[in-house]
Amino acid sequence: MASRTVAAGSARPAPARAQGRTVRRWLRRNRNAVRLAGALAVLIIMLFPVYWMVISALKGQHDLFSTPPTFYPSHANWGRIGSAVSTYVHPLVNSVVISAIATVITALICVPGAYALAKLGVSERVTSVLMVVILVVQVLPTIMLVSPLYEIAIRLGILNQYWTVGLLDSMYSVPFGLLVLRAYMVALPSALREAALVDGCSEQKVFLRVILPNCKPGIGTVVIFAFLFAWGDFVFGLNFTNGPAVQPATVSLYEIIGRDVQPWGQLMALGTVLAVPAVVVVLIAQRALQQGVAGFGIDK
């Protein structure tokens, strides 16, 4: 490029232009390879923080604080992840229990609710009012609901219980689940239900035997997201539990961050364990994931 500025007005730009043309031609000829390289670069950059967490968890204490940092562990020190699991086994079990409760509540509320809104002939006006309410509810800042809910929980004396935190955690997924499942059920052919009714099935039986089996993928999506949302919660876990009895693992992580000197290896190890559900979902539930993402963007 320097040659170009020096030799302004002379014959020099021609080779530069020719060179540019060659580069462009090369790019065009290898378009697929260039695109793939770009895509892989993006993936590496975007996943680097996750990679950094995992290898920080695996590094020995010396590697962890070395300058320059090491980009792969000289020897994988799995012991730290093992000890994170064994030290925080109780909070991790709490997280699983709370997330499972939240998931079950979400399914119990959303599947019948969405079915009623989609197929049971709720009048159009009522449906549209309810849909707007659900959208608005999804917009409510969670944090503003914390102190009123806290007051209710105190009054009812239900602080520090699995059910309370599970119920609260389901608030992340119920509006979402209603929207996603309703869209899913609207798309089911009505003939399915009507044929079963004409054959003499009761409404309950139609729901259990015909609708549920046909909604498995949609229900799967909602269940997976309900679990992930509850698993990731820490606002409700922080405010509605005290002490280690019910406290989820996200709150344990938060408490370690709050220490004066952070044990980074331990933090990264517990973070890695907490990342497992997300990674598992990405690896085995792609279709549900795609549907879930679409559910956020294009609400019906």
Partner 1 sequence: MAKLDLTTPVRPLLRPGRAGPSRPRRSARRLVRGLWSFKALCLLPAVAYVILLFGYPAVFSIQLGFYSDNAAQFITHTGVFVGFANYTQLFHDATFISALLHTLIFAVVTVVAQFLFGLLIASLLNKQGLVYAGIRTLLLVPWLLPLIVSGNIWIWMLDNFYGVINYFLVTLHLTSHYVAWLSSPNLSLWAVIGANTWLGIPFNVMIIYAGLRAIPVDLYEAARVDGAGPLTRLTRITLPQLRDVTGVLVLLGIIYSIKLFDVVWVMTKGGPANASQVLGTLEYQDTFELNQYGYGAAIANVMLVLSMIGGIVYVRFTRRGIRNG
Return the residues of window 232-261 that contact partner 1 according to CB under 8 A.
Answer: 232-235, 239, 250, 253-254, 257
Tokens of 101: 């409760």
113 closest CA partner among 66, 33, 173, 53 = 173
Stretch that binds partner 1, among 21-29, 73-81, 83-91, 172-180 (CB under 8 A): 172-180
- Taking the C-alpha atoms of residue 53 and residue 246, their distance in angstroms, rounded to an integer, is 26
Q: Which of residues 108-167 bind partner 1 (CB under 8 A)?
A: 108-110, 112-113, 115-117, 120-123, 130, 132-149, 151-152, 154, 167
* 294 in contact with partner 1 (CB under 8 A): yes
Say if CB 220 and CB 285 are below 8 A apart: yes
| 228 vs 246 by CB, closer to partner 1 | 228
Tokens of 55: 């290898």
| 12 vs 299 by CB, closer to partner 1 | 299
Question: In this structure, what are the phi and psi dihedrals at residue 139, rounded to the nearest 5 degrees?
Answer: -85, -20
Shortest distance, CB of residue 43 to partner 1, whole angstroms?
Answer: 5
| 30 vs 262 by CB, closer to partner 1 | 262
The tokens 């093992």 sit on which residue? 82
Q: Which of residues 36-55 bind partner 1 (CB under 8 A)?
A: 36, 38-40, 42-43, 46-47, 49-50, 52-53
Question: In this structure, what are the phi and psi dihedrals at residue 73, rounded to the nearest 5 degrees?
Answer: -70, 135
Site string for partner 1, 76-105 (x = CB under 8 A): ------------------------------
CA dist 223 → 41, 101, 113, 263, 276 (Å):
33, 11, 15, 34, 17
| 6 vs 46 by CB, closer to partner 1 | 46
